[in-house]
Amino acid sequence: MNETLDFLVRHGAVVMFVALFIEQVGLPFPATPFLLYAGALVGSGKLSTVTTVAAAVAGSLVADMIWFYIGAFTGKRALKMVCRISLEPDSCVRRTQDLFARFGMRGLVAGKFIPGLSTLLPPLAGSSGVSIRRFLFFDSISSVLYCGSFLLVGLLFSNQVEQIVAALAGLGTGTLALIIAFLAAYITYKYVQRRRLLHELSVARITVDELRQQQEAGGNPLVLDLRPASEIDDDPYLIPGALHMSIDDVARRQHEIPRDRDIVLYCSCPDEGGSAKIARRLQRNGFTRVRPLLGGIEAWREREYPVEMRRAPETTPVVAV
């Protein structure tokens, strides 16, 4: 353990850059402890303030720039890409889009402090057509505030931080191994929990071909579009006959869902994770004919099936292929 601390003192700038880069790329790696300890080392004069802040901010900016350009070139598919890395992929897209729709680039500053969202906001900004200059301006502010705040906390409580680190060092390498084992167990639990949910509903999924056949045969299934309102504003086309109902609205609007019809759900979550959760929730409340749509509206469009514009008051749906 002492060797590890000596390494942090000798290579503080490199450690800060790598720690922030890994965290902002989206991997389940916490950079906060490194920032706090680096702040304590700055307070004791073992690390340079300017070098430490610059290295941490640079690591954050480089990772954000990578995701920004991925979003600019691949569109909103980048959100699903980064969500597959996230521990909470079912809600991260929805929360990020809602934050960006409400606050715009100002949300990038606040989102840096929210785990999960900080990695999703750069590709969302890139896919939304934000200029690189505007993105760099707000991302630089958010990175400086994020890194600087935790470094400042570590500096102000440098004595307490160093006491904690010294206590951990006194416990030996077994403590470090225990912490690593705990993090690994938590990540494994979240992954297994998600896969179990998808496995439970894998048999009940309906394909887009099956849904289209039902519609053409007059089966009259109720299709629920669970995408967030901000995404509907950007892409107002739904599967014909679909009712838009955000995931947060399902609980309070259950009275609008009939129990005597087939119910098909789709959203923009990776692997239909969000629609799978809502399907299971509805099943527990007595809705027995609920199935997520395999592939969602993207799979529907790939088959070139018709879509219709979301109904507005006193307007007629516009059907397009």
- Per-residue confidence in pLDDT tens, the chain, 321 aa: 445 556 666 777 888 899 899 988 877 777 888 888 888 888 878 888 899 999 999 999 999 999 899 888 887 666 666 666 555 544 456 666 666 666 677 777 877 887 667 777 888 888 888 899 999 999 999 999 999 999 998 888 877 766 665 555 555 556 556 666 766 776 676 667 666 655 655 556 888 899 999 888 888 889 999 887 777 877 888 999 888 887 778 878 888 888 888 899 988 765 566 777 788 888 888 888 888 888 888 889 888 999 888 765 333 343 444
Give the torsion sign (CA, 290, 250, 90, 241).
Answer: positive
Q: Which fold has domain 204-320?
A: Oxidized Rhodanese; domain 1 (3.40.250)
- Do 173 and 1 meet the contact criterion of CB atoms below 8 Å apart? yes
Question: What is the per-residue DSSP string for 100-152?
Answer: HHHHTTHHHHHHTTSTTHHHHHHHHHHHTT--HHHHHHHHHHHHHHHHHHHHH
Sequence spans of domains, the chain: 2-171, 204-320
Q: What are phi and psi of 304, to 5 degrees?
A: 60, 35
